[in-house]
A and B are shown apart, each in its own frame.
Chain A
Amino acid sequence: MNPNKILYLGAEAEIKTSVYLGLSAVEKRRIRKSYRIPEIDHMLISARTKEESKLIMEARIQGVAVPIIYDVDVENGIITMEYIDGHRIKDIIHRLTEKERKRICEKIGDGIARLHNNDIIHGDITTSNMILVDDTIYFIDFGLGCKDSEIEAKGVDLHVLMEAFSSTHSLYPQCFDYVLDGYKKRFQGDADVICKKIEEIVRRGRYRT
């Protein structure tokens, strides 16, 4: 793999390939912003780098497949982590049979429920942020994540994925139902309360299409 190749350039961070002690790795580096004063810039970059790496490590402890963190440089805002060599769910979902799609989506739901059982909110669950390797679904990019025990936070977290399915994968409207099936089996609280919350979020004016 070619090191230092930019994989993704976002508004907040750049992701590039790297090597860590001979292992294939990716580096997520938060970009300094010249529009804000250095005090705020430094505070945001270091706090977010710390928060994101903590969430990833905690998710791993809870049995959710996430990249292994190799190194965290809080000062410069760099997280070096395992390179996940697989396919984004976004790119393969249309290639699956309905039966496989159902199975994969249930696994996604299972993973989200494991996060939520421990109050980990991913913050940006889209099909671009899940990678399938063999039969394991890896969750990546916890950059908008946080810890929150509220039903609202969990509902909003799932709603993001629902929106992703209805906008990007509108041919497969049943996918989100499969996700919820998998979620309900794993979630330790009352999953029906979360489902009701999602319906409520949909009804709110700003989310209506």
Chain B
Amino acid sequence: MTICLGIEGTAHTIGVGIIKSDKGRCQVLSNVIKGYHPEKGGIHPREAANHHATYVADVLSDSIKKAGVVFSAVDLISFSQGPGLGPCLRTVATAARALSLKLKKPLLGVNHCVAHLEIGRGTIPECIDPVLLYVSGANTQVIGFAEGKYRVFGETLDIGLGNCLDKFGRSLDLEFPAGPKIEELAKKSKTYVKLPYSIKGMDIAFSGLLTAAMQEKKQGTSVEDICFSIQETAFAALTEVTERAMAHTEKKEVLLGGGVACNMRLRSMVETMAKARGARFFVPSRNLCVDNGAMIAWLGLLMYESGIRMTIEDSMINQRFRTDMVQVAWR
């Protein structure tokens, strides 16, 4: 078992990645990503699923071409089984099942959140046992390996941070995803407007922050100041929760993952925190941070090699597939 093809499709991205195992390390042969951009508003699950259905074949053949392999060389098909939007997950699962049956190759559904962590461990040699701060549109979790499972030490109690940024961005008529533009606007300000900082134990909440930011905008506060303040408040809270999880688990590594991990201010805050604790800081390359097929392929391969198998009947998707439901047999 050396080559695995993974299909990602939990939300707005359809991605096909092909990876190879090289002495326990992940070698990415290709990683093609295509994003659905709503004309207005946020992700419409059905529209996103239609997008994936339209482009999955193209992305698939593109990925095969870029990897320089033939279909028959693929040993395993894996796909994102959850968590995510039902219609998107079903579309991708269908594609993966069809491919598996056609090629007569085994099929494995994997957990999207765990894939974000494993791709960091698989592609960064010094990254052995990190606490992962995973921040994307829908997900915001602090994950670490403890007592045989990936456990969630802290997570959002309401919306993911990306979702919060997107919603605020929409009120400014920014294009989806709004994160990168908010980052640009934030750079133009140094004026902090007080916004709610919400940490409950190890968990975190962003809906109050979003409401307060919208209020500020209505009251005419400068958009740059609000963007600066949203970033400073939300990222400080994320960094604090991550540090607590590191202290609690006594781990000396921190890994970033998810689309929001592309934000340079978040990176610098987590890195500063890590340095102060004498811990190491890692972030995968951009196309492995965002939703992508390569991470799905790599986790599939790890699972398969540890002896995990899945029949077509067991491959049903799970919109609420929790990180701590995954049986970790490969560590």
Residue numbers of A with Cβ under 8 A of B are 10-12, 33-37, 39-40, 43-44, 123, 144, 156, 205-206, 208-209
Contacts and interface: CB of A to CB of B under 8 A. Distances in A.
A209 B236 CA distance: 30
Contacts of B147: 209
29 contacts: A11-B240, A11-B243, A11-B244, A12-B240, A33-B236, A33-B240, A33-B273, A34-B272, A35-B239, A35-B268, A35-B270, A35-B272, A35-B273, A36-B269, A37-B232, A37-B236, A39-B192, A40-B192, A40-B197, A40-B232, A40-B233, A40-B236, A43-B194, A43-B197, A156-B201, A205-B324, A206-B155, A206-B322, A208-B324
B115 interface: no
Contacts of A206: 152, 155, 322, 324
B247 interface: yes
B134 to A, nearest CB: 15
Interface in B192-229: 192, 194, 197, 201
A10 B197 contact: no
A200 to B, nearest CB: 16
A202 B100 CA distance: 38
B65 to A, nearest CB: 41
Question: What is the interface of chain B mostly: helix, strand, loop, or mixed?
Answer: helix
- Closest 8 interchain pairs by CB? A11-B247, A36-B236, A35-B272, A35-B269, A39-B192, A35-B273, A11-B243, A11-B244
Contacts of B192: 37, 39-40
B234 to A, nearest CB: 11
Contacts of B297: none
B325 interface: yes
Contacts of A10: 247
Contact of A123 (B201, B268, B322): B201
A10 B248 CA distance: 9
A35 B277 CA distance: 12
B232 A36 contact: yes
B229 to A, nearest CB: 9
Nearest to A31: B276
A185 to B, nearest CB: 27
